[in-house]
Amino acid sequence: MSLLVDTKMIYHCSQADIRGGGGVETYVESLVNAKIPGVSDRAITSLANVEQKYFKLLHLHDVDMLGELREECPAIFTLHNHSSYCPSGTKYLTNWGKVCDRTMNPWGCTWGHLVDGCGSRRPQNIWQDWRNANHPLEILKNLKIPVIANSNYVRQQIVSNGLSPKRVVTLRCAVQHPQTDNAPLNQKIHQKQRILFAGRIVPYKGVEWLMKALALCDQSIHLDIAGDGWNQPKMKKLADQMGLSDRITWHGWCNGEKLESLYQQCFAVVFPSVWPEPAGLITLEAYSHYRPIIASAVGGIPEYVRHGETGILVPPHDIKKLAAAINELGNNFSQSKLMGEQGQVWFQEEFTIDVHIQRLKIIYEKTIAEFHARNLHN
């Protein structure tokens, strides 16, 4: 660690595997590899034994690292998910198929685990889930550092759980440009009638809802599923029972090149999550490939979709409306193409890594200035 603290730079701090994975890993990897002047291309995975006073700024991405922060230098924390104000991490009541509207409290969250199906019923797991969320939240409340939320939805959640609104700023996500050349939707691709789901195959990602909607769609529409997960065997069995096996292709986990090709051969991307996604990375992936998005109006997703312009928002669990949205774009090439092009314009204006970094720099500069001003008066 001596090499790190000898250099006055900004460092990203995360225990995530930045060689790829989920949304947080992909995001941190993008920032670390962006070669931003003054920002290290190495991530710090632990602050426990680091002389923190030497750093220009520490940008934390993991709630587990908040307890290691001593506020000896400027620091900021990005809230990527619900884990610091929801013991289950989902804000979703599985047994009722509804978003949880409670603020975090021991009795309500215990009831959620036992009755609402939002987590394990085992007493030791309920206690551990509670501690894993409450402990970092209490630490975060006592720190003076600013917090970045990746949607106004997440910002509202953390504020309602006790953080001062003055400390929390919204900075929406960004994604890298596609690695290969891509182009607006053309008639030939549209005629193939393929839609794409990319994500984990777990219940709250809405694959079952999407399959039931597919059964109501035009027979020509084919679903490509890129991803894997523990619920996949059950979903494959359901597809067989529904007579949809010849209309669904299960691609499993896809590397970047394979995923690029799947984006290129679809006329729309479907994002059918039923839980309140903190943000909407898949929407940005769709826009970057000139594709419209059909997405659930839940959580932070609506902040990433301009309904009727870059895509179509649908109430979660509404099978008929999801099917109608898919059919609408499947039957209208010009509308699908226009929405994809408008999504691409919005992506270039708001959601590229370059745009994101410029906004992040402003937050860094303000955080550094306020830290030194505060310490000058102490």
- What confidence tier does 377 reach under pLDDT thresholds 50, 70, 90? low
pLDDT the model gives residue 181: 79
Residue-wise pLDDT tens digits, 109-120: 999 999 999 989
**Range 137-166 average pLDDT:** 96
- What confidence tier does 59 reach under pLDDT thresholds 50, 70, 90? very high
Residue-wise pLDDT tens digits, 184-243: 999 999 999 999 999 999 999 999 999 999 999 999 999 999 999 999 999 999 999 999
User: Which tokens is 127 given?
Assistant: 């206690």
DSSP state of 68: G
In whole angstroms, how far apart are CA 360 and each of 29, 157, 169, 249, 260? 15, 22, 11, 39, 28
pLDDT the model gives residue 60: 96
How much of the chain exceeds pLDDT 90, in percent? 82
- What confidence tier does 3 reach under pLDDT thresholds 50, 70, 90? very low
What gap in Å lies between CA 57 and CA 369, rounded to an integer?
Answer: 11
pLDDT the model gives residue 271: 98
How much of the chain exceeds pLDDT 70, in percent? 96
Amino acid at position 266, single letter: C
What gap in Å lies between CA 366 and CA 169, rounded to an integer?
Answer: 12
- What confidence tier does 4 reach under pLDDT thresholds 50, 70, 90? very low
Q: How many CB atoms lie within 10 A of CB 65?
A: 20
Answer yes or no: are the C-beta atoms of 91 and 299 closer than 8 Å.
yes
Query: What 3-state class would DSSP assign to 332?
Result: coil
pLDDT the model gives residue 375: 79
Which of these, 84, 145, 151, lies nearest to 363 by C-alpha position? Answer: 145
- What confidence tier does 378 reach under pLDDT thresholds 50, 70, 90? low
246 contact partners, CB below 8 Å, separation of at least 6? none
Residue 296 sits at φ, ψ, to 5 deg, of -75, 140
Answer yes or no: are the C-beta atoms of 210 and 239 closer than 8 Å.
no
In whole angstroms, how far apart are CA 356 and each of 14, 175, 178, 262, 314? 19, 9, 16, 26, 28
**Range 275-294 average pLDDT:** 95
Which of these, 53, 33, 50, lies nearest to 42 by C-alpha position? Answer: 33
Answer yes or no: are the C-beta atoms of 63 and 18 closer than 8 Å.
no
Q: Which has the minimum average pLDDT: 27-36, 59-68, 346-355?
A: 27-36
Residue-wise pLDDT tens digits, 332-359: 999 999 999 999 999 999 999 999 999 9
Residue-wise pLDDT tens digits, 287-320: 999 999 999 999 999 999 999 999 999 999 999 9
What gap in Å lies between CA 160 and CA 154, rounded to an integer?
Answer: 10
Average pLDDT of every residue of the chain: 93
Reported pTM: 0.93
